[in-house]
Chain A
């Protein structure tokens, strides 16, 4: 890696992380994303914005989330000490709410009166519906028809929170199609609508904005691990779909050269199985989709593949552009875990730590043992446990051949 890089200066004024990022949107949306960029810069400079955000993160979300020493998992692997950053204890059960709060406060500042969001597993949809209820704004959540069928409890949650869930039947009827439909809504309702994007992707300034809102994870983690262990971790570990929880954990450590940043992608049925994984960084190549240039799962003609993961939250053919840059630069390393490995890690964590993780961080859990053993007993790992597994019990039961 190049020590002279000014990581914190990225993205540049054009929203670029090296060749990645940018603003690849139709002209109709271009003035809107420029407007959003201005409004976000103003909000960032306004202490009142931060004060309101901090208060809500504390009292509504329940931050700071604990830093937990996973003692039995550490003993199980017999290697480095493993700590969990427990973002699964947040209100709504995942890290998604950190970003949604930031974006809805921005929507309010901009005078927007209607919220739209896309969702895959439903966690970002639930978090968007939650903050919309909290701030009294109507919310429409686009969700693939296939995902609606897979994630009925979250659809009902969104309805309870007053959101309208619109089924998307185009394409493969999953997350990327939901994002297409949300963009179509936005381009139609330009005057009053704020689009809350759920991951650190999309046109600039979304990747930066989502990273900044999620960086509360890494800021807390850095402070907590210094307090507990008196030093920085050797490894910061997180799962990667679009990559918002990972960039949130990584970014506050990015200039700490001794901290290895490791992301774990969803390898589905295996990286070697065509169109049956969701590992954009390990199995894709750069291209343009959903407003940014980044690594994408695609065929030789540039058509986007659907991909696959047992985890609906990782089942996305792209990845945030900053991760593409971190990969190319070598500052972060990206591994992968298959559906089966994630399932095994999910069960192990439940059985020996008494924590049912979401299937997304179960992918990071699937690699933590090897990393712990490689580092040895003097090593130190902070892993983001970014979501809880309640939403996944039906999927897991199904995969295990059990009826509930």
Chain B
């Protein structure tokens, strides 16, 4: 299951380093530019890519990704359009894992099986549906699983030891640790707190653990890379895209290179 994801984490392990997971919103600022951005990310050092699909009411996002979602909708971004971008990306990149990320309603309107089928056909490897906790994700999880794709689950600081088994039940791919309570783009936690959190998760699962939320610069990314299997960076890249306009592909690639260098330079603890 999830061969590209599993293969990528195995590769990262062989290099004794953490990976960089880069988030971008499809159709931000428009379809073609976002495809150029997507194509530029692996060479710049993104090990895994989360491709956001827009939703009118992104209630777990901070201002950066909210605005990206609004721009993407204005540019005509639809779930089918996002699938099309991914399949065009796959024409030239056969190895970088792609995780589709967004909210339940666009998926629900497409239908769980149609979504899973389209994601597989496009060459995506998994999905994160922010407003589907384990209690509500059975339909989409089984549909994705039927296509050999992973539904990536989130663990958070409020996911206590009593609840953690619920989150880990049936999960594949990797576990995404949302390191702070809050919306995307907030403050990062310190490395000690992240280390403790990752250690707690590692005691409960053999899956790779990615840490995200609030990672904005090289120093923070390097700190997280010491303790996690992958570091997720989103709002920072989205901000660069928002500011760069037509130069977004080159500008975001430069930012990804900076953070990737920090992640690659970090010495793994423990």
Interface residues of A (CB under 8 A from B): 14, 22-32, 34, 170-171, 176-177, 179-180, 183-184, 187-190, 287-291, 293, 296, 298, 300-304
Contact = CB atoms under 8 A, between A and B. Distances in A.
Contacts of A183: 59-60
A34 B57 CA distance: 23
A304 B56 contact: yes
Interface string B58-95: 11111100100010010000110000000000000000
B156 interface: yes
A23 B136 contact: yes
B155 A171 contact: no
A27 B182 CA distance: 11
Given A32-B158, A187-B182, A298-B109, 8 more contacts: A27-B134, A27-B167, A28-B182, A29-B158, A184-B60, A290-B57, A302-B79, A303-B54
B9 interface: no
A179 B56 CA distance: 13
B157 interface: yes
Contact of A26 (B62, B133, B186): B133
B57 A22 contact: no
Given A24-B131, A188-B182, A303 B158 contact: no
Contacts of B58: 180
13 contacts: A26-B130, A30-B163, A34-B163, A177-B57, A184-B61, A188-B181, A188-B183, A287-B105, A290-B57, A291-B131, A301-B79, A302-B106, A304-B105
The 4 A-B residue pairs with the shortest CB-CB distance in the complex, in nearest-first order = A302-B109, A302-B106, A188-B182, A28-B156
Given A22-B136, A301-B109, A31 B158 contact: yes
A171 B133 contact: no
A26 B108 contact: no
A188 B180 CA distance: 8
Contacts of B261: none
Contacts of A30: 133, 135, 158-159, 163
Contacts of A25: 131, 133
Nearest to A31: B158
Interface string B98-140: 0000011111111000000000000000000011111110000
B233 to A, nearest CB: 19
Contact of B57 (A23, A289, A300): A289
Contacts of A188: 181-183, 186
Contacts of B17: none
Contact of A290 (B59, B60, B73): B59
A151 B160 CA distance: 42
A190 B183 CA distance: 12
A142 to B, nearest CB: 12
A32 B181 CA distance: 12
B55 interface: yes
A304 B108 contact: no
Contacts of B134: 27
B186 to A, nearest CB: 7
Most chain A Cβ neighbours within 10 Å, of B79, B135, B178: B135
B133 A288 contact: no
Nearest to B77: A301
A118 B182 CA distance: 18
A26 B60 contact: yes
A31 B109 contact: no
B178 A300 contact: no
A32 B186 CA distance: 20
A156 B153 CA distance: 43
